[in-house]
Structure 1
Amino acid sequence: MPGALRGPDRLAFLLALVPYLQDHDTVSVTDVAAHFDVTPERVRDAVTLIAVSGVPGATNQYQHGDLFDIQWDEFELNDRIVLTHLVGIDDAPRFSAREAAALIAGLQYLSALPENADRAAIASLMAKLTRGASAPPTQLLAEKSGSADALALIATAVQADVQVEFDYLNGAGEHEHRFVDPLRVESVDRDWYLRGWCHLRSAVRTFRLDRLVDLRVTDRPRTGQPVSALPDRLFEPSAEDLTVVVELPESALPLLADYRPERVTDKVHTEKVDGDRCRVRLRLASFHGLKRLVTGLPGTVTVIAPGEARRVVADWAAAAAAQYETPAAPTERA
């Protein structure tokens, strides 16, 4: 049985009741009582009090337009509550149509994350933003990444508390079969990463979603590795990492933050050379990771050592350039 409300509880109930009624065009007294866990009599008394409350207008007197109003026939005959006039609440600042649209787009993005698999609260908030904006917000749809299907499968595995299974294209370009306890999904710019306990390596590992091949949800239960087992940083150095020396302008050092976020400005690992250029030692999982670095900073980074790293990048660049070669015409070949 719902208990009697104390003074502070009565005030909190009244403050929560008006927005609730505003969100419901028509609602029965019994439904309101069940929602707030109070008696129907308490709801009727509160509605009666609200109907004679308001904000004094310019005359400092409570005129008809200065008070809340309800459909009294519905209330007295059918025990239903329908607000017909609001005061005070409508004067509160509102989001503009553009602000509401931006927030709704952000919520659409968040709803794709596995940890937000229960999207009821997000959908309710988007509906409130739409109703509460000063004008109808522009209809926007957040672009879904190519990893949307993988995100959905990982969310299913998290809810079922089971492992995921996939073939993974590692940094060396090799496929390996993995069983992983999914712990967290994170994004860096446009790339998504799965962080979890890898049963092949018996350690926490990070996987790019666009490198997962044939991702499946298994019936193998997770081993109970806690989320607290995850390192603070997304990318952690490993004893198997390879050391590479690259040369670039000193002003471009911050662009290497994704590769060595903790040491790009460390003088021990940075050596000044001619002019404003400097050499930096990086640690990568494989030399193939240099392809992404060179592509992202064309003409800025020069690979200095070791020789194998230079060969990998040179071969890759030559293969790319060969795709643009124009075959000679028949007469020219003759």
Structure 2
Amino acid sequence: MTVEATTERVLRLLALLQRRPSWTAAELAAELGVTDRSVRRDVERLRALGYPVHATAGVGGGYQLGAGTRLPPLLLDDEEAIATAVSLRMASGGTVAGAGEAALRALAKLDQVMPPRLRAEVRAVHGATETLIGPGVEIDADLLVTLARACRDAVRVRFRYRTRGGGEHERTVEPVRMVATDRRWYLMAWDVDRADWRTFRLDRMRDVVATTWRFRPRQHPDPLAYVQRSVAEAPYRHLARVRLRAPAEEVRRLVPPQVARVEHDGDGCCVLVAGGDELDWLAVHIARLGFDGEVLDPPELREAAARLADRLAGLAGRVPP
């Protein structure tokens, strides 16, 4: 018997063991069309590959696939592969902490080896399914898979990107990591043309193509901290720093990380760093937090806070000072 035939039979044996809890040697031999002795040899081959196949002697005994110290490769039939891929697509955009990134890595692996006919089935199911999620921006799962693979394989990505002003430009980047907030997905990458680290919103990308150009990974900032700083500060005209008389943990419960950065400042205080295009808007939202504090900068924010105080005093029927 050829090596290819033996390998195929061992894979069929693995699929049988994964199908139900226990098999007798005679049942497996009948399914595979071989002798009991061949079944025993194939079981040993599976054990050598890391699959924990347990054998029980006596009446009612047989072979059982158990749990080992590591997860070996799984064999999925068509229905199982479709169900798994659809679940991973939904989980990759979910809100469970840590689940989205792990689901995305698993989806990238499964999508890479899935036959085209099954991939089409998965997209059809996903396209016909609606989920009740928060007010975030929905991202196409194929885009997530493309970027996940590019991050994993260290290959450059090319795409068209729409800026905040509405302009659109072609960008070539070396992707490092995707970061998901409760509303949006971001990509941290090295911008080849600008020779600097950049953050890109996935909902502003189109015509995304993973090239065949491999790159050597660079030393990079912490992706989570970099994206948080970028989305909370960089896009705005004004950057406010306000010292609040409240513990940082308490303020963080009220302020999402993509909105502002909260830094410890000792003595039960913290510094809130937030960006905004309108100082009056910043003053209103900082006041709504309900904590005493003082504006560190910019000085214009103090003037905006004073104007807000005068308006509120007037609404309360008091004469502003």
Scaled to the shorter chain, the TM-score interval is: 0.3 to 0.5
TM-score where L is the length of structure 2: 0.45
Q: Which has the larger radius of gyration?
A: 1
TM-score where L is the length of structure 1: 0.44
